[in-house]
Amino acid sequence: MDDFTPIEDFVSPGLPVDPANTTGREALGDPQGVPELSDVDCPDALRETIEASMARYPDHKSASIPALWAVQRTYGWCTPEGIRQAAAVMQVTPAYLESVASFYDLFRLQPSGESQVLVCTNISCWMRGGDELLDAFCAATGADRGEAGHGGALSADGSVMVSGFECLGACDLAPMASVNERYFGPLEPADAKTAIEQLRGGEEVLPDKALTARRLPGGDEESSDERVTSTKGPNR
Ligand code: FES
């Protein structure tokens, strides 16, 4: 037990420490320790991406989320070896990065197909047909609807993961979905079949409904958004 550091050492100076919560408790070390870069086979592109992210922050741990995105984009999911490689570049323990990855739903800790479809079923999207949209994506892929609504399900051929998801922060597109990190909406159930066919055919997915095709915030107002002009606010 001499190897362990008292938990008080991890509490910021000046903050009150409740003895009831800390007395007798000890911070557990990571048995894997910090891997050496020479001990992992980290692809150069992954290492360079992580190093560029680290250079943007005064505390290199702040690059944990960009580093995990880089791992996920490299391997399709946050593989144990990918996390070890990122940990070696960042000189943190793999357990530290795993704890970050397991906290956020958008990081995948198991294989999840070549493409991922996240269908928002939170309140704004649900009220505008989010459940029906998830039904349609499951029908288009053959993914199990029950599993898709509770953590995600792979398509029948294993190439596409479909998952119901909490608010993706694009409620004005309701009902919306993300396909391989790009946002689309408002969507009709019929769009699901089209999107999956385009995805499988290597075509651009729903170009007319992609968020990137929309006017950027603060950009020129080319035409009025009907959803805004039709709003009956107190000043209209
Ligand atoms: S409720 Fe669907 S994006 Fe916010």
Mark which of 111, 140, 166 sits at the end of a domain: 111
Q: Are residues 127 and 101 in the same domain?
A: no
Phi, psi of 199 (to 5 degrees): -60, -45
- Among 118, 122, 133, say which to mutate for ligand 1: greatest number of ligand atoms within 8 Å of CB: 122
Domain residues for the domain of 162 are: 115-213
Is 22 domain-assigned? no
Same domain, residue pair 164 and 181: yes
Contact 108, 78 (CB under 8 A): yes
Residue 196 has pLDDT above 60, yes or no: yes
Considering the domain architecture, whether residues 41 and 91 belong to the same structural domain is answered as: yes
Given a cut of 60, whether residue 213 has pLDDT beyond it is no
In a domain, 27, yes or no: no
Cβ–ligand 1 contact at 7 (below 6 Å): no
**Residue 1 CA to ligand 1 centre (angstroms):** 48
Residues 98-135 have pLDDT tens digits of 999 999 988 999 888 899 999 999 999 999 999 999 99
User: Measured from the CB, is residue 167 less than 6 Å from ligand 1?
Assistant: yes
**Residue 18's pLDDT is what?**
53
103 and 88 in contact (C-beta within 8 Å)?
no
Average pLDDT over residues 38-56: 95
Q: Answer yes or no: is 53 within a domain.
A: yes
Can you tell me whether residue 60 is helix, strand or coil? helix
Going from the Cα of 166 to the center of ligand 1, the distance in angstroms, rounded, reads 7
Q: Is residue 87 part of a domain?
A: yes
> Which residue among 82, 111, 140 closes a domain?
111
The yes-or-no verdict on residue 61 having pLDDT over 90 is yes
* Pocket probe mutation, ligand 1, options 171, 172, 211, max atoms within 8 Å of Cβ: 171
pLDDT reading at 212 higher than 80? no
Cα of 174 from ligand 1 centre, angstroms: 6
Q: Mean pLDDT score of the chain, rounded to an integer?
A: 84
- 124 & 207 share domain: yes
Residue where the block lists tokens 């008080």: 8
Indicate whether residue 120 lines ligand 1 (CB < 6 A): yes
Number of domains in the chain: 2
Together in a domain, 101 and 152: no
pLDDT of residue 29: 57
Nearest to 39 by CA among 72, 84, 77: 84
Asked whether residue 91 falls in the same domain as residue 159, the answer is no
**Is 73 in the same domain as 107?**
yes
Would you say residue 43 lies in a domain?
Answer: yes
Q: What is the CATH number of the domain that holds 137?
A: 3.40.30.10
Asked if the model's pLDDT at residue 234 lies above 50, the reply is no
Whether 136 and 156 share a structural domain: yes
Note the pLDDT of residue 111: 87
Q: Is 138 in the pocket of ligand 1 (CB under 6 A)?
A: no
pTM: 0.71
State whether 128 and 173 are in the same domain. yes
* Residue 95 located in a structural domain: yes
Q: So what's the pLDDT on residue 105?
A: 86
Atom of ligand 1 nearest to the CA of 130: 2
Q: And the tokens for 13?
A: 């100076």
Ligand 1 centre distance from Cα of residue 162 (Å): 16
Query: Among 14-18, 90-94, 95-99, 155-159, whose mean pLDDT is lowest?
Result: 14-18
Same domain, residue pair 76 and 161: no
Inform me whether the pLDDT recorded for 46 exceeds 70: yes
**Residue at which a domain ends, from 84, 111, 138:** 111
User: How far apart are the CA of 198 and the centre of ligand 1, in A?
Assistant: 24
- 113 burial type by CB count under 10 A (0-12 exposed, 13-18 middle, 19+ buried): buried
Q: Is the CB of 187 under 6 A from ligand 1?
A: no
- 106 shares a domain with 38: yes
Write the CATH number for 39: 1.10.10.1590
Asked if 188 and 149 sit in the same domain, the reply is yes
In a domain, 203, yes or no: yes
